[in-house]
Amino acid sequence: MSLKIAISQLDPVVGAFEQNVKKIKEAYKRACAKEADLLLTPELSICGYPPHDLMDRPEIFDRNEKALEDLQAMTLGKSCALVVGHVAHNPLEQGRAAQNVVTVLESGKKIFRQAKMLLPTYDVFDEARYFEPAKQSAIWEWRGEKIALAICEDLWAHDPSFGRRLYGYDPIDQYREAQVTLAISLSASPYEWGKRERREKIHQEIVHVLNAPLIYVNQVGATDEILFDGGSFALNHAQECVGRLPLFRTSFGVLEVSKTQLKWLNPSVEGREDILPSELEILFRALVTGIREYFLRTGFKTAVIGLSGGIDSSVVAVLAAQALGAKNVIGVAMPSQYSSSHSIEDAEILAKNLGLQFNVKPIKFLFSQIQRELSEGLSGGLIPIALENIQSRLRGLILMGIANNFKALVLTTGNKSELATGYCTLYGDMVGAIAPIGDIFKTKVYELAQYMNQALGDPIPQRCLTRPPSAELRPNQTDQDTLPPYKPLDELLEGYIETMAQVSELEKELDASPIVKRRGWVREILKLIEVNEFKRRQAAPVLKVSHKAFGIGRRIPIAKIWDQ
Specify burial of residue 263 (Cβ count, 10 A radius: 0-12, 13-18, 19+): middle
pLDDT at 269: 45
3-state secondary structure of 29: helix
Residue 551 near residue 541, CB atoms below 8 Å: yes
* Active-site option among 23, 34, 116, 544: 116
Examine the residue annotation and report whether 152 is marked as an active-site residue of this protein: yes
Options 3.60.110.10, 3.40.190.10, 3.10.28.10, 3.90.226.10; CATH of 3-276: 3.60.110.10
User: Cα–Cα distance between 477 and 481 in angstroms, integer?
Assistant: 7
Catalytic entry in 152, 192, 225, 544: 152
**Catalytic site includes residue 135:** no
Q: Which fold has domain 295-474+533-537?
A: Rossmann fold (3.40.50)
Three-class DSSP labels, 180-202: CCEEEEEECCECCCCHHHHHHHH
3-state secondary structure of 415: coil
Any idea where the domains of the chain sit in the sequence? 3-276, 295-474+533-537
Angstrom distance (rounded) from CA 228 to CA 50? 11
d(CA 296, CA 347): 27
Angle subtended by helix axes 442-456 and 279-298, to nearest 10: 90
Full pLDDT tens readout for the chain, 564 residues: 689 999 999 999 999 999 999 999 999 999 999 999 999 999 999 999 999 999 999 999 999 999 999 999 999 999 999 999 999 999 988 999 999 999 999 999 999 999 999 999 999 999 999 999 999 899 999 999 999 999 999 999 988 887 778 888 899 999 999 999 999 999 999 999 999 999 999 999 999 999 999 999 999 999 999 999 999 999 999 999 998 999 999 999 999 998 878 888 865 445 567 678 999 999 999 999 999 999 999 999 999 999 999 999 999 999 999 999 999 999 999 999 887 888 899 999 999 999 999 999 999 999 999 999 999 888 888 999 999 999 999 999 999 999 999 999 999 999 999 999 999 999 999 999 999 999 999 999 999 999 999 999 999 999 999 988 877 677 777 777 778 899 999 999 999 999 999 999 999 999 888 888 788 999 999 999 999 999 999 999 999 999 999 999 999 999 988 776
Give strand pairing partners of 138. none
CB 393 within 8 A of CB 383: no
Distance CA 289, CA 324 (A): 10
Q: Whole-prediction pTM value? A: 0.95
pLDDT value of residue 362 = 96
43 is catalytic: yes
Count H helices and E strands in the chain, helices first.
Answer: 17, 19
Q: Which of 72, 148, 149, 64 lies closest to 110, judged by CA? A: 72
Q: Which of 43, 106, 293, 472 is the catalytic position?
A: 43
Tell me the C-alpha to C-alpha distance, in Å, between residue 498 and each of 251, 282, 324, 504.
32, 20, 31, 16
